[in-house]
Amino acid sequence: MPPSEPSGRPVTAHPSPKEPAAGDRLNRIANRIPAPLRAGFASAVARRDRALEAPVHQARTNALLGAALGVSFTVCFLTGLYSHLAQQPSGFFSNPARPAGLYRFTQGLHVATGIVSVPLLLAKLWAAFPHLFQTPPVRHIAHLLERVSIAILVAGSLFMLGTGLANSARWYPFPFNFVPAHYAVAWITIGALIVHIGAKATISRRALFPAADEVDRPAGEVVPAGALTRRGFLGATAAGAGILTLTTIGQTVEPLKEVARLAPRRPDQGVDGVPVNRPAAEAGVLQSARSPDYRLVVDGKVKKKLQLTLAQLQGMDQHTAGLPITCVEGWSAQANWTGIPFRDLLALAGAADGAEATVYSLQTGGSYRSSEVNSSHAHDGDTLLALQMNGRELALDHGFPLRLIAPNRPGVNQTKWIYRIEVK
Ligand code: HEM
Ligand code: HEM
Ligand SMILES: Nc1nc2c(c(=O)[nH]1)N[C@H]1C(S)=C(S)[C@@H](COP(=O)(O)O)O[C@H]1N2
Ligand SMILES: [Mo]
């Protein structure tokens, strides 16, 4: 006799077209459960089965939200990979100086799609929740692997969004280093996502593009009173995503800066109207940057080693360029920079054509105290050792006396308080 609820309603397994025997197996499992627990188990299964019929939990809702997440995670992954390559000098990719605003676009997009993914993921987990309790929990080895991949996908997604959001809000509560952890888990999460898409391909296709005989429920069917419709649920999710975007995107899209209420930064707020990432005091350069003994040294593979005072630097030919600072954390701000073209200094020192260089900051600790200037950046006419921002002497917090500013370059590599250029 099959186990039954007190009401006498037989327990049914979640209907699965491929597994006609699932119901029998479920009954066999239920029969092994001690009698007192059996009723509880049966009613839990019945409750789950009812939940699975609600529009918000159906395959179509899962597939629609899944498709949106598939797009947003792919965009995050590709823009994230580009960010990684742009920062890490490697043998096979050298970040070009043009187009000047490329990194501003890709990293703004990375953080914006990351933020949009938060309401999408919460909605998806809500929609998917009753599907997690499959009976029996494991059917065969492939099914076990699929269940494990679901666990990895959910944990990885939560980790990516949690760490990304915290970092872009400049909150570092983790005991590990954000960048390598976010990078490694990105690969794992995308791997699990590909497995998930493979596992759900057929059901997704049926749910999104049903043939006439596959329609989930008859058109125009009445949703039980009080139940959330799919349209209402997806509409609320889209509205949440829209509001979050509108209140944060102004950190990089200037015209929307006034409504950027939730953005950690505004592009027009900071020292001399431009945000500051690490102030001079925090970098420990208050004395060294203002010292009369300051010299810019150009050495390494040069014909003539240079040592220039601030007055000498100010006396050289200056060039002005409008360039953004694009922080990896998602904000960016445009300014007019005036200074000495990097390539002019290299030429003056007699560096070889196509030479690369490392620039060093007066800052004595921290990961951003030096950066690599590849050949494309070193020889672009707009790559400057800036002395001025928006027509005024560079503020101490923006890198006085001398900072690097170049087109298409992550903010972390726009090194401030430069005192040495080593030609390679
Ligand atoms: C970050 C991205 C995603 C996460 C975290 C996620 C999470 C989940 C979870 C936890 C389930 C419950 C499934 C189970 O226990 O077997 C599920 C089901 C499902 N997902 Fe995803 N998913 C994601 C992306 C996608 C994508 C890209 C698609 C494809 C368009 C998709 C389509 C589906 C479908 C069709 C189901 C099954 C619904 C059913 O059986 O009725 N998901 N998802
Ligand atoms: C599935 C979602 C995501 C994926 C696959 C992803 C992937 C990546 C990758 C591969 C990097 C490059 C790491 C490196 O340079 O080694 C990166 C960087 C970054 N991501 Fe994400 N990310 C995701 C979501 C997010 C979210 C939601 C945010 C914030 C709202 C975010 C913020 C950042 C930030 C601030 C960086 C720059 C780190 C740095 O260089 O200092 N990410 N991401
Ligand atoms: N020496 C040094 N240069 C630095 C940093 C730093 O910490 N130390 N931070 C970088 C980062 S992360 C960014 S986004 C830009 C910000 O420049 P700003 O403070 O002038 O806006 O400076 C870069 N240059
Ligand atoms: Mo930054």
Percentage of the residues of the chain whose pLDDT score is greater than 90: 80
Ligand 4 center from residue 412 Cα (angstroms): 5
pLDDT confidence bin for 9, thresholds 50/70/90:
very low
Q: Give residue 22's pLDDT.
A: 57
More confident position, 184 or 224: 184
Ligand 2 contacts CB of residue 337 (under 6 A)? no
Work out the average pLDDT over 149-173.
95
pLDDT confidence bin for 32, thresholds 50/70/90:
confident
More confident position, 212 or 130: 130
More confident position, 334 or 36: 334
The pTM assigned to this predicted structure is 0.91
Place of tokens 């900072």: 403
Ligand 2 contacts CB of residue 115 (under 6 A)? yes
Q: Say if residue 87's pLDDT is above 80.
A: yes
Q: Say if residue 179's pLDDT is above 80.
A: yes
Place of tokens 């990078």: 183
Residue owning the nearest CA to atom 22 of ligand 1: 66
Ligand 1 center from residue 326 Cα (angstroms): 34
Which of 62, 144, 190, when mutated, tests ligand 1's pocket best, judged by the most ligand atoms within 8 Å of its CB? 62
Structure tokens, 271: 């020292």
Residue owning the nearest CA to atom 19 of ligand 3: 276
Work out the average pLDDT over 185-203.
97
Ligand nearest to the CA of 59: 1
More confident position, 120 or 90: 120
Work out the average pLDDT over 81-86.
97
Spatial CA neighbour of 13 closest among 44, 58, 36, 55: 44
Percentage of the residues of the chain whose pLDDT score is greater than 70: 91
Work out the average pLDDT over 19-25.
58
Residue owning the nearest CA to atom 5 of ligand 2: 77
Give the nearest ligand 3 atom to 274 CA: 21
Q: Which neighbouring-strand residues pair with 298?
A: 306, 421
**Average confidence score pLDDT of the chain:** 91
Spatial contact of 128 and 121, defined as CB atoms under 8 Å apart? no
Ligand 1 center from residue 228 Cα (angstroms): 20
Ligand 1 contacts CB of residue 117 (under 6 A)? no
Residue 99: asked if its preceding bond is cis (omega within 30°), the reply is yes
Ligand 4 center from residue 277 Cα (angstroms): 6
Name the packing angle between helices 59-87 and 178-199 (round to 10°).
140
Residue owning the nearest CA to atom 33 of ligand 2: 164
Q: Give residue 12's pLDDT.
A: 44
Residue 341: asked if its preceding bond is cis (omega within 30°), the reply is no
Which of 52, 196, 217, when mutated, tests ligand 1's pocket best, judged by the most ligand atoms within 8 Å of its CB? 196
Ligand 3 center from residue 307 Cα (angstroms): 24
Ligand 1 center from residue 109 Cα (angstroms): 24
Place of tokens 């479920």: 26
Q: Say if residue 370's pLDDT is above 90.
A: yes
In three-state form (DSSP H/G/I as H, E/B as E, the rest C), the secondary structure along the chain is: CCCECCCCCECCCCCCCCCCCHHHHHHHHHHHCCHHHHHHHHHHHHHHHHHHHCHHHCHHHHHHHHHHHHHHHHHHHHHHHHHHHHHCCCCCCCCCCCCCCHHHHHHHHHHHHHHHHHHHHHHHHHHHHHHHCCCCCCCCHHHHHHHHHHHHHHHHHHHHHHHHHHHHCCCCCCCCCHHHHHHHHHHHHHHHHHHHHHHCHHHHHHHHCCCHHHCCCCCCCCCCCCCCCHHHHHHHHHHHHHHHHHCCHHHCCHHHHHHCCCCCCCCCCCECCECCCCCHHHHCCHHHHHCCCCCEEEEECCCCCEEECHHHHHHCCCEEEEEEEECCCCCEEEEEEEEEEHHHHHHHHCCCCCCCEEEEECCCCCCCCEEEECHHHHCCCCCEEEEEECCEECCHHHCCCCEEECCCCEHHHCCCCEEEEEEC
Ligand 1 center from residue 127 Cα (angstroms): 9
The Cα 186–Cα 74 span in angstroms is 10
Q: 117 in the Ramachandran plot: left (φ > 0), alpha (ψ -120 to 50) or beta?
A: alpha
Spatial CA neighbour of 330 closest among 113, 156, 168, 178: 168
Q: Give residue 6's pLDDT.
A: 39
Q: Give residue 222's pLDDT.
A: 57
Ligand 2 contacts CB of residue 188 (under 6 A)? no
Spatial CA neighbour of 280 closest among 374, 371, 397: 397
Radius of gyration for the chain, computed over Cα atoms and rounded to the nearest angstrom: 29
Spatial contact of 2 and 11, defined as CB atoms under 8 Å apart? yes
Give the nearest ligand 3 atom to 275 CA: 21
Q: Say if residue 128's pLDDT is above 80.
A: yes
Ligand nearest to the CA of 324: 3
Ligand 3 center from residue 241 Cα (angstroms): 30
Give CA separation, 6 vs 9, 12, 26, 157, in Å.
7, 14, 18, 40
Work out the average pLDDT over 205-220.
74
The Cα 378–Cα 77 span in angstroms is 29
Work out the average pLDDT over 99-120.
98
